[in-house]
Chains A and B, each alone.
Chain A
Amino acid sequence: MAATKIHAIYTDDDLLMQAVKQTRSANYHISEVFTPFPVHGLDHAVGIAPTRIAITSFLYGLVGLSVAVLMMNYMMIQDWPQNIGGKPSFTFYQNMPAFIPIMFELTVFFAGHLMVITFYMRSKLWPFKKAENPDPRTTDDHFLMEVDADNHDVEKLTKFLYDTGASEISLIENEQDH
């Protein structure tokens, strides 16, 4: 299936925001926006759902805490309940103050690293991944909005995008998109 898209390049973030709002209200579908820096409120304007990555982090933190508790309970209380400097090793809670630093650290360790790995996997970022920004200037000072043109009159859409202030407009045809 041939997918036709239009790439509209803007030179200013405020202009881009305005263009995104206009394009959405004109019922055109914005398939992607590439920006060189986080434009505040752009995700909301484009209409993408909020990210749930913070929730995953919380759950990972709970995993870390459980690992710490189970590990230390097993090693210090169950497996070798030794007397080390008079510390009470009869039950977990009796010696818990000494375990708190590691419980804390492992919670942070799991919450931080697993969330970052989740982020890399969800956003498809890894060392040998090829960059997919269509124009190298979008990491410098240009803003690119990609609009689906499949079911639209390209002439009219181009004219519309042009009126939103795009400084460059190009028609992209992908022969094999999927």
Chain B
Amino acid sequence: MSSHYEAPIREPLVLGEKSYHDISVDVGAPVLGKANKSWWIVFTIALVAFLWGLGCIIYTISTGIGVWGLNKTIGWAWDITNFVWWVGIGHAGTLISAVLLLFRQKWRMAVNRSAEAMTIFAVVQAGLFPIIHMGRPWLAYWVLPIPNQFGSLWVNFNSPLLWDVFAISTYLSISLVFWWTGLLPDFAMIRDRTKSPFQKKIYGILSFGWSGRVKDWQRFEEVSLVLAGLATPLVLSVHTIVSFDFATSVVPGWHSTIFPPYFVAGAIFSGFAMVQTLLIIMRKVSNLESYITVLHIEYMNKVILLTGGIVTVAYITEYFIGWYSGVPYENYTYLSFGAATGPYWWAFWALITCNLIVPLSLWVKKLRRNIRWTFFVALVINIGMWFERFDIIVVDLSKDRLTSSWAMFQPTFVDIGTFMGTIGFFFVLFLLYARTFPVIAQAEVKTILKSSGESFKRLRAEHGDDHSHVQTVEEYPADAGPAANVEGKHFDTVFDDSKEEDSENNEVDYELHRGKIDNLLSGVGIFDPAVHKQDDLKMINGVGPVMEQKLHQLGIFTFEQVSRMTDREYDLLDEIVSEFPGRAKRDDWAGQALTLKNKN
């Protein structure tokens, strides 16, 4: 029997006293519940931005590319900057789901689903730009090698822009099936848990009739592993091919062999920053703090730190080679009036500040584990990586070999509006996803619960590494009749320490605590049987029949009341009901009650 051993030095990845069922409930809650007001507000803003962007795109296509700020010297600016930026953002998702799978990183399981969703949605945004930046986008199908009536006129396979077509479409489609295959068991969970016939129908279709047979799981795991093995070189190749758009050119500053690995490192850097931005909000909004923990955030910060370091080394290399090459053009681009001190000095220094200096703060453990600071740094990196692409593209183009062709670039409102529109579209997709998809791969998290769950780690610490989490067969006496081994009859679940609760002597000393009780009720609100409906407080993990009785005696009857509890109320409760000190806080009753309340 496996003992689910894990080194005690590792911090738990699933916090709280979670059971398999709790995971299903927590992951299913946002899907099975209703959207709250803030979701609608954010969704509306994103939708408006998207529609505005759509207007800009239609205006561009119907009027001409001249509505953008491009000129004869600078033929690529915001369009390709945004393209590379979005593709880069997409890379973290594949990195988390594929590379971390190959390295057997358990912490990826809570974040991979959302990271992959981010990949898909970011690549969709990226995919818009190669189309809309065309002068004649209605002829875009000419990039495909389709037999035709022009004597079968083919495409030219020497161009990195054509490689882009193959790379991006392969990347998007492979990411999509990888993501979808992983979703099948989770859709099946929603299908089997929902009570609404409409949802049952929809998730029945989405889950492809997944039944969870042992053979299905065997194939599923093999398919995931092979796809991870394919996606890893894919993720490296896709951004490599994107970097070829520049690296294979003859433009000083672009023609550089360092671009492929350097772009990939930058992609992971910016992609992880975007994952942080999204997950820090999502864990709060969807009540997933037990699964996406500070540890996950710290691990991602470490990846940011590593790839940020690689990017820094690349910047320094570029500078060194610019000087070392002895080529005046290279030297010029990088040193004299080029990037750092030329007319685009502000973009250059924005890049240095955002990508080199600010992320250095993550070396400090305290800041690395600080959620607010992480959020700030992640935003800064997203800005910095946009400037990196802008600098590479625009600065190097603006002052090329012939001084007579030097020019500056000024974006128009259409450039900006299109970019805003893709951000809006991205969030529209992501917000819809967060409401309809299981945002955590619950089937995967369940596989690590016994090795990395907080409660199981505690059990191992208390009872030794080889402590089995199940009762052995001998403990199921056959003579007790059928179902004698049902939980609670012959053994208690490991999550329940109701033994501690003494059903005798269950009176709260009302007189003694009158002041504290009043104080407590003032914090959580008073229950009025005329307007409120009593909830089953036992649904909160950690509240047993005895505790419920005590809460009732105090005047707490609803999830609403429990959800308002803060540290102050927890302390008061501990003083009044002294049997289980710290219990309410440890189990996060307020958070649980909030989830339960929203579900009703």
Give A residues with C-beta under 8 Å from B. Answer: 11-15, 17-18, 22, 32-43, 46, 48, 50-51, 53-54, 57, 71-72, 75-76, 79-80, 84-85, 87, 95, 98-99, 101-102, 104-106, 108-109, 111-113, 115-116, 119-120, 122-133, 136-141, 159, 162-169
A38 & B443 in contact (Cβ 8 Å cutoff):
yes
A-chain residues with CB within 8 Å of residue B1 when the two chains form the complex:
14, 17-18
Residue of B153, B209, B473 most packed against chain A (CB within 10 A): B209
Closest A residue, CB atoms, query B203 = A131
CA distance A72 to B154 in the complex (A): 10
CA distance A127 to B192 in the complex (A): 16
A113 & B177 in contact (Cβ 8 Å cutoff):
yes
Q: A119-B219, A131-B188 are in contact. Are A108 and B233 (CB under 8 A)?
A: yes
CA distance A125 to B192 in the complex (A): 17
CA distance A69 to B219 in the complex (A): 31
B21 & A53 in contact (Cβ 8 Å cutoff):
no
Complex partner residue of B166 from A11, A80, A105, CB under 8 angstroms:
A105
B226 & A130 in contact (Cβ 8 Å cutoff):
no
A46 & B214 in contact (Cβ 8 Å cutoff):
yes
From DSSP, what is the main secondary structure of chain B's interface residues?
Answer: helix
B-chain residues with CB within 8 Å of residue A167 when the two chains form the complex:
483, 485-487
Please give the distance in Å from B115's CB to the nearest CB on chain A.
Answer: 18
Q: A11-B487, A105-B167, A125-B210 are in contact. Are A113 and B173 (CB under 8 A)?
A: yes
CA distance A130 to B191 in the complex (A): 11
Is B75 close to A, CB under 8 A?
Answer: no
Complex partner residue of B184 from A32, A111, A125, CB under 8 angstroms:
A125
CA distance A42 to B215 in the complex (A): 9
Closest B residue, CB atoms, query A138 = B212
Is B241 close to A, CB under 8 A?
Answer: yes
Q: Mask for B323-361, Cβ within 8 A of A = 1, else 0?
A: 000000000000000000000000000000000000000
Q: A98-B158, A113-B177 are in contact. Are A127 and B208 (CB under 8 A)?
A: yes
Residue count of chain B within 8 Å CB distance of chain A? 81
Is B189 close to A, CB under 8 A?
Answer: yes
B170 & A109 in contact (Cβ 8 Å cutoff):
yes
Is B149 close to A, CB under 8 A?
Answer: no
**Chain B, range 465-479, C-beta contacts under 8 Å to A:** 468-471, 473, 476, 478
Q: Which 10 A-B pairs have the closest CB atoms?
A: A129-B209, A141-B20, A136-B192, A125-B208, A75-B154, A133-B211, A37-B443, A37-B446, A101-B163, A43-B218
Is B216 close to A, CB under 8 A?
Answer: yes
Complex partner residue of B212 from A11, A36, A71, A99, CB under 8 angstroms:
A36
B-chain residues with CB within 8 Å of residue A139 when the two chains form the complex:
185, 188-189, 191-193, 210, 212
CA distance A52 to B9 in the complex (A): 38
Q: A38-B443, A51-B218 are in contact. Are A101 and B212 (CB under 8 A)?
A: no
**Chain B, range 200-233, C-beta contacts under 8 Å to A:** 204-223, 225-227, 230-231, 233
CA distance A91 to B11 in the complex (A): 59
Please give the distance in Å from A88's CB to the nearest CB on chain B.
Answer: 11
CA distance A36 to B193 in the complex (A): 12
B-chain residues with CB within 8 Å of residue A130 when the two chains form the complex:
204, 209
CA distance A126 to B234 in the complex (A): 26
B189 & A131 in contact (Cβ 8 Å cutoff):
no
